Structure 1
Amino acid sequence: LAEEVDARSIHQVGNTGIDSLRTLLAEMPPAPRAARARDTVLVTLHRRENHDRNAGIVCDALIALTLARPDLRVLFPIHPNPRVSATVHRRLEVHPAFDLVAPMSYRDFVFKAAAAALIISDSGGVQEEAPHLGTHLLVPRSNTERPEGIETGWVQLVRADREAILEAALEKLAAPTMRPVPIDELAPFGDGNAADKIVHVVEQTLLQHAHA
């Protein structure tokens, strides 16, 4: 709109990723979601700003978290970029509280995320999913392109600082349970029907051109 594109040619349909999430959540048995893995923190890192030094800071914060909460286990699917993986392996593989694993399938990741006590991730997609999973998410970044997630109360930015991450993680782990954001017409990133809406728009556009 700011570029003076005709508003009639712009269609807000939502994110197709929420369509996939909605499908998976419908397949998930309610019992595992209700009985969360209260001892599991799920972690991912991949963004350039969290390479090298910042990856080390996050790792140090995770070590401190497991010392403060010896009951916790950290599940860490490691991104193949060596500027992340090398640091993670060097800092964490000697600690028994960490499960360092290969990248997971989307289905497996969603199931683990829905059952986790806390997620720490710089992933944009996870920022969109966490409010619907009902799992608090800490984003080790100074800003986000998805402020709508923060507005739900499920997503929190935290600077790349050992004490800041540790304090925020302990706070979220102790937070009272909240209801997940339903995937409906008020959901911030779409109601789970984006693909159907896209098909409808394409069909209508083709019909208009056919009769022009």
Structure 2
Amino acid sequence: MATEPPSLAFVFGTRPEIIKCAPLIREAERRGMPFTLVHTGQHYSRELDDVFFEGLGLPVPDYELRVGSDTPGRQTGSMVSALDPVVTDVDPDVVVVHGDTNSTLAGAITTCKLDPALAHVEAGLRSFDRSMPEEHNRVLTDHAADYLFAPTERARRQLAEEGIEAGVWVTGNTVVDAVRQHADIAARESDVLDRLGLDDREFLLLTAHRAENVDDETRFRNVLEGVAAAAADNDLDCVFPAHPRSVGRIREFHIDIPAPIRVVDPEDFLSFLLLEDRAAVVVTDSGGVQEEAAVLGTPCVTVRDNTERQETVEIGANRLAGTDPEDIRQSVAEALSAPTDWEPPYGDGHAAERILDVLQEVGDGDD
């Protein structure tokens, strides 16, 4: 006798979460699994989000909570208050959260107080830096979850070291699914290279948005100085699709952007993916960009003192440079001269299938 598939609620609040959830949403659609999409509004713009979901070919969210910006504690508390009646009303079998955002933690807290099971995609990542709010979010969510989907064996081992061994599956990372599903579409449909006047492998792509970098004037200036020097050293153009937080700090600190860095507006996902794919090197403080660059075969330099994506460093796809300008210059030079034939560490692009294979068992009464 066939059993009913489990009902799922995907809770997310930032565009990186949506990108990584997209393969899961598509796979749930393919399998006929009922699901509800809940957008907390941690990062929210009606105009940008509508275009974003359309560009990814995803259904618009069923609930848009529009919580917006606030201090981390107030924002998380507001999300919990807004999510409680939604999860109660929808009453899914499983709430699925992803990664390490405030939306992730809010979804975890809400679910723990209600009936559904909690699934955490991208479980077990650790930077071991408790000054990072993301570290608190991912640790707390892992210890609350019923289903933990670790992207790598390293992540599984870390969970075991913290006493979490039941309910853990190594699935790979849905970032690989997402990149592979969209890279060809990006190459066909995006005109970003022509629009920005860039040639393949002749430019450096910079992203910087983390508070520890852009909210600290000295660190932010050092990153820009080091990246500008590295680009000039290697005769590369440099584009910086600047996050609104970064633009605000550039104005607040009265920073004159050093040549050859060119600040441009943020790009949609497909255009940004093409920039990552065609760059000579990426310099970033984003965890997701570290992963995406490794999948695409583009060398990466991370302007942080630590990373929860240690696998990218181990295979030679990524270098930790910190924010000293000379260290950034040296790391970029090393990245450009090193081989790029590494094996991506995050799986084969079928993580979403493996995750839903496990969650399908909820419908068979194995919860």
Q: Matched residue of 2:354: which SS?
A: helix
- Cα displacement (A) at 1:168: 1.8
For residue 153 of structure 1, report the CA deviation from its aligned partner.
Answer: 0.5
Aligned partner of 1:149 in structure 2 is 312
1:95-141 per-position Cα deviation (integer Å, ceiling 9, x unaligned): 3x332111111211111111110100011001112122111100011
Name the structure 1 match of 2:74. Answer: none
Q: 2:324 aligns with which of 158, 161, 183?
A: 161
The 2-side partners of 1:195 and 1:61 are apart by 38
* Identity among equivalent pairs (%): 32
> What is the match of residue 72 of structure 1?
236
| Corresponding residue for residue 122 of structure 1 | 285
Residue of structure 2 aligned with 1:90, choices 255, 258, 261: 255
TM-score (norm 1): 0.80
CA contact (8 A) 1:59 1:88 kept: no
| CA shift digits 1:47-100 (9 cap, x unpaired) | 12212221100111123234434x3110100011156443797221x63x3321
- Relative distance call for 1:209 and 1:178 in structure 2 (3 A) is closer
Instruction: Judge conservation of contact 2:280–2:298 (CA < 8 Å) in 1.
Output: yes
CA distance in 2, matches of 1:19, 1:84: 34
Whole-Å separation in 1 of the counterparts to 2:231 and 2:280: 13
Match among 155, 177, 190 for residue 347 of structure 2: 190
Match runs of 1:10-159 below 5 Å: 10-27=168-185, 37-51=200-214, 52-69=217-234, 71-82=235-246, 84-86=249-251, 90-92=255-257, 95=259, 97-159=260-322
Contact 2:281 2:298 in 1 (8 A): yes
Q: What's the Cα RMSD here?
A: 2.6
Deviation at 1:37, TM superposition (A): 2.0
Could you tell me which runs of 5 or more consecutive residues in structure 2 were left unpaired when the two chains were aligned. Answer: 1-159, 189-198
Aligned counterparts of 1:155 and 1:81: Cα–Cα separation in 2: 25
Tell me, in whole angstroms, the C-alpha distance in 2 between the residues paired with 1:209 and 1:164. 51
Aligned to 1:199: 356
Please report the TM-score for the alignment, with normalisation by the length of structure 2.
0.48
- Separation in 2 of the partners of 1:44 and 1:81? 12
Shift of 1:25: 2.9
Indicate conservation of the 8 Å contact 2:280/2:299, yes or no: yes
Q: What is the alpha-carbon distance in structure 2 between the residues aligned to residue 87 and residue 130 of structure 1?
A: 31
Amino acid at match of 2:245: N
C-alpha spacing 1:158/1:10, structure 2 compared with 1 (3 Å): same
The answer to which structure, 1 or 2, has the higher relative contact order (CA under 8 A, 6+ apart) is: 1
Distance 1:88 1:23, change over 3 A: farther
Question: Could you list the per-position Cα deviations for residues 176-196 of structure 1 after superposition, in whole angstroms to 9, with x for gaps in the alignment?
Answer: 543253xxxxx4223211211
8 A contact 2:299–2:340 mirrored in 1: no
Structure 1: distance between partners of 2:229 and 2:252: 16
C-alpha separation between the residues in 1 aligned to 2:249 and 2:172?
31
Q: Within 1, Cα distance between the matches of 2:173 and 2:295? A: 13
| CA contact 2:176–2:295 (8 Å) conserved in 1 | no
Matched, 1:208 2:360: no
- Matches of 1:105 and 1:149, distance apart in 2: 24
Kindly provide the CA deviation profile for residues 6-45 of structure 1, in whole angstroms up to 9, marking residues without a partner as x: 52x2222222222111112344669xxxxx7232000000
How many residues are treated as equivalent by the alignment? 195
- Measured in 1, the distance between the counterparts of 2:225 and 2:210 equals 18
The answer on whether the counterparts of 1:55 and 1:87 sit within 8 Å (CA) in structure 2 is no
Would the aligned equivalents of 1:56 and 1:91 in 2 still touch at CA under 8 Å?
A: no
The separation in 2 between residues aligned to 1:147 and 1:103, in whole angstroms, is 27
Any conservation in 2 of the 1:39–1:117 contact (CA below 8 Å)? yes
